[in-house]
């Protein structure tokens, strides 16, 4: 197989990146595309922290990511090797992680907050997509997730938003916006808007690659 075509998808918390990815992947079969998520490369620290320490721990720093392992696994997929690793369980010590099997494919998607900041990874990308949303929209999405899915109080979630999330976005992602091939503003709560964008991009890729 020829070298995979690598697409980097970067977006801040609450940008709607997860739904964009889900929609994008639906345009391809499992044999045509594979995904490597930066989230699965967090250093595992939950077992070392109390619940109170977890609330103030800053997960929005490049130093929380096992960058070397992340980059190595991308390189392995580029060399048509399968990657097997445990999924990230969002520092919940009560969850047994599944083992992920990532098989090489003609299209490799790399996604995460820091993929453009990690310049060795950014330099591998053939296409860079930047997903953004207005700060108020992103904040409401993030708060909804933290309160419902992560069990944070509103005060704890707001503490992380103000002190961790926004500063990280401005320092480690926003400076690279202008180097991206596509910048997609995702303020809509209408699914078909994002589905239409992913359809357009995927059709262009299918013409180019298959």
pLDDT of residue 54: 74
pLDDT digits (tens, 9 = 90+) for 4-47: 999 999 999 999 999 999 999 999 999 999 999 999 999 987 66
- Cβ-based neighbours of 155, under 8 Å, separated by 6 or more: none
d(CA 45, CA 47): 6
Q: What is the DSSP letter of 186?
A: -
Domain limits, the chain? 5-209
What angle, 0 to 180 degrees and rounded to 10, lies between the N-to-C axes of helices 17-25 and 191-209?
A: 50
d(CA 181, CA 177): 9
pLDDT digits (tens, 9 = 90+) for 147-205: 888 778 999 999 999 999 999 999 999 999 999 999 999 998 788 999 999 999 999 99
d(CA 80, CA 175): 32
> Any idea of the CA torsion for 144, 150, 153, 154, to the nearest 10 degrees?
-20
* Whole-model pTM over 0.85: yes
CATH number of 5-209: 3.40.50.300
Q: Which residue bears the tokens 């720093």?
A: 61
């Amino acid at each position: 197989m020829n070298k995979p075509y690598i697409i980097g998808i970067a977006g801040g918390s609450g940008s709607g990146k997860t739904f964009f990815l889900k929609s994008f992947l639906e345009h391809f079969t499992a044999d045509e595309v594979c995904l490597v998520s930066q989230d699965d490369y967090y250093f595992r620290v939950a077992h070392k922290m109390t619940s109170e320490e977890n609330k103030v721990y800053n997960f929005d720093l490049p130093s929380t990511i096992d960058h070397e392992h992340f980059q190595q696994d991308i390189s392995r997929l580029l060399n048509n090797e399968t990657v097997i690793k445990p999924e990230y369980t969002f520092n919940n010590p009560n969850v047994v992680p599944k083992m992920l099997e990532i098989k090489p494919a003609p299209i490799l998607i790399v996604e995460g907050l820091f993929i453009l900041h990690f310049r060795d990874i950014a330099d591998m990308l053939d296409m860079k997509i930047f997903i953004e949303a207005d700060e108020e929209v992103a904040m409401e999405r993030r708060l909804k997730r933290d309160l419902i899915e992560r069990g944070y109080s509103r005060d704890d979630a707001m503490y992380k938003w103000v002190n961790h999330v926004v500063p990280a976005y401005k320092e480690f992602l926003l400076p690279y916006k202008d180097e991206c091939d596509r910048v997609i503003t995702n303020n809509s709560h209408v699914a078909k808007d994002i589905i239409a964008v992913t359809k357009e991009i995927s059709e262009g890729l299918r013409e180019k690659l298959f």
